[in-house]
Amino acid sequence: MNLKRYRVNNIQEALQQIKKDLGPDAIIVSTRQVKESSGKFGLFGKTMLEVTAAKDKKSSQPASKKPAAKASPAPAANPYGIPTPPEKPKAAAPLVAPQTASSSEETRRMLLPLQEEIQELKDMIKSMERPPTENRAVVQLQQEVSEVRSMVQTLAAQTSQLRNEDFPENLVVLFQQMVFAGLEEKFAKRLIQEAQKSIPAEELNNFPYVKIFIARMMMKIVKTTKGIEKNGRKQRIVALIGPTGVGKTTTSAKIASEQVLKYKRKVALLTIDTFRIGAVEQLRAYAKIMNIPFEVVANKAELNRIAAKYSDFDVILIDTGGRSQRDEAQMYELREMLDDPGRIDNYLVLSATTKDNEISEITRKFGELPLDGVIFTKLDESTTYGCIFNHAIRFKKPVAFLTTGQKVPEDIEVASKERLVDLLLNISGH
């Protein structure tokens, strides 16, 4: 596979060069604005467009032989606008039929900071003294390279399909970029269809305009809670629920700390993780450092009693033990305690490293409880963030927080629309 990076004045210039160097099957994996730091433009530098393109060597085979080259059904009129979630998965009309969702999601999950690294990895593999099969890391890298390659092939096929449908080149480029970042193909296609209808014809060739237009559309799709807002309420009771190991306890401690230090609120920390001593002690230790009350509750009656005890507190934060969404007994227990709409807000904690289809399964199952918000953790361990938008489109749940590392309390941010869109489209150019 070939990867090339171009610094150009505009997207047309990049497309010309890419076509010349890599051919028409190349796909754009990222675009970003960069400042030239030196030269005649002095301190301020000139803003250039940096475009990274990829081309798989095998992707020039005839379209009919490509696994992904099935024509999509004619796009139905979309009377609901872009934010419409797919109600029934079966009704989905993916552009690419044969690649299974899971392998495609796996591909995305495995993506390393692609733009520079793949070539280095390949060189490294070549220069290894031991045969690659003896070295797990190398085998893993080879797998990543091959997954990226199949992604590039798939995208190349989709791209020629879009070109056949006469989409303007700028929209094709942004489609590639969004799908490469993990946005489901059919959502990306709806977005560019909508953009094509709405963007004035004279602006369709203006890449920055088109990119910002798409970014604005994304900002309308994704909702946020702005962390924990009081919204005129005397007290907020927030429970963090979700599968095991996603970061609920760590995130509870981070949120508690932020509420105390930044908002000067009175916070009590609770856990209903009663079956693991270690987990309880972990949170007790955090509470001690923050000098806030900590309680363990085992059932609804205890929860009510403790809530009454802290009725004059601004925020009661409840950590829960991780549960498998497939364990009906555990889910029942959780519903018994936390299905209390209007009184308890449940924030579902999801890791950005989890496969997209698994995130959906988890959300459907935990959605047996009222879900008031979502927290995406481990952004630092993921290289693609399309799953956040797929989730927003499918479930329409607002994002409350993002976490970006293991450090307590600093590695957390209140989710903002600008930041989320930037994660997908790299508007700020960092």
Ligand X SMILES: Nc1nc2c(ncn2[C@@H]2O[C@H](COP(=O)(O)OP(=O)(O)OP(=O)(O)O)[C@@H](O)[C@H]2O)c(=O)[nH]1
For residue 40, give every residue at least 6 positions away whose Cβ sits within 8 Å of its Cβ, in sequence order, or none.
Answer: none
State the minimum distance, in angstroms, from the CB of residue 247 to ligand X.
3
Q: Which does 403 bind (CB under 5 to 8 A by kind): ligand X, Mg ion, none?
A: ligand X
The one-letter amino acid at 129: E
Cα 165 from Cα 175, distance rounded (Å): 13
* 39-47, 241-249, 308-316, 333-341 -> range binding ligand X (CB under 6 A): 241-249
**Cα 183 to Cα 49, 189, 233, 278, distances in angstroms:** 22, 10, 36, 38
Residue nearest to ligand X (CB): 322
Q: Which does 12 bind (CB under 5 to 8 A by kind): Mg ion, ligand X, none?
A: none
Q: Does 109 bind ligand X (CB under 6 A)?
A: no
Instruction: Identify the DSSP state of 232.
Output: T
Residue 127 belongs to what H/E stretch?
helix 114-127
Q: Does 252 bind Mg ion (CB under 5 A)?
A: no
Q: What's the gap between Cα 52 and its chain centre?
A: 20
3-state SS class at 233: coil
Task: Kindly tell me which of 302 and 380 has the beta carbon lying closer to ligand X.
Answer: 380
3-state SS class at 384: coil
Cα 210 from Cα 291, distance rounded (Å): 50
Q: Does 271 bind ligand X (CB under 6 A)?
A: no
Q: Which does 182 bind (CB under 5 to 8 A by kind): Mg ion, ligand X, none?
A: none
Cα 10 from Cα 166, distance rounded (Å): 21
Is the link from the previous residue into 409 a cis peptide, with omega within 30 of 0? yes
Q: Does 354 bind Mg ion (CB under 5 A)?
A: no
> If we measure between CA atoms, which residue out of 423, 429, 419 comes closest to residue 45?
429
The 254-293 contact track toward Mg ion, x by CB under 5 A, reads: -------------------------x--------------
Q: Does 406 bind ligand X (CB under 6 A)?
A: yes
State the minimum distance, in angstroms, from the CB of residue 388 to ligand X.
14
Which of 52, 249, 390, 426 lies at the binding interface for ligand X (CB under 6 A)? 249
Which of 109, 248, 391, 397 lies at the binding interface for ligand X (CB under 6 A)? 248
- Per-residue buried b or exposed e for 361-372, using 16+ beta carbons within 10 Å of the residue's own CB: ebbebbeebebb
The 300-339 contact track toward ligand X, x by CB under 6 A, reads: ---------------------xx-----------------
Task: Kindly tell me which of 213 and 286 has the beta carbon lying closer to ligand X.
Answer: 286
- How many residues touch Mg ion under the rule CB under 5 A: the total is 3
Q: Which does 411 bind (CB under 5 to 8 A by kind): ligand X, Mg ion, none?
A: ligand X
Contact 272, 317 (CB under 8 A): no
Instruction: Identify the DSSP state of 65.
Output: G
Q: Does 245 bind ligand X (CB under 6 A)?
A: yes
Q: Does 246 bind ligand X (CB under 6 A)?
A: yes
- How many residues touch ligand X under the rule CB under 6 A: the total is 20
Q: Does 138 bind ligand X (CB under 6 A)?
A: no
Task: Kindly tell me which of 191 and 239 has the beta carbon lying closer to ligand X.
Answer: 239
Tokens at 328, concatenated? 């009906």
The one-letter amino acid at 93: A
Site for ligand X in 355-394 (CB under 6 A): 377-378, 380-381
β-bridge pairing 236-241 and 344-351: parallel
Which of 104, 193, 249, 383 lies at the binding interface for Mg ion (CB under 5 A)? 249
Contact 359, 376 (CB under 8 A): no
Instruction: Identify the DSSP state of 166.
Output: T
For residue 43, give every residue at least 6 positions away whose Cβ sits within 8 Å of its Cβ, in sequence order, or none.
Answer: none
State the minimum distance, in angstroms, from the CB of residue 247 to Mg ion.
8
3-state SS class at 374: strand
Task: Kindly tell me which of 92 and 298 has the beta carbon lying closer to ligand X.
Answer: 298
Task: Kindly tell me which of 174 and 272 has the beta carbon lying closer to Mg ion.
Answer: 272
State the minimum distance, in angstroms, from the CB of residue 243 to ligand X.
7
Binding site for Mg ion (CB under 5 A): 248-249, 279
Binding site for ligand X (CB under 6 A): 244-250, 273, 279, 321-322, 377-378, 380-381, 403-406, 411
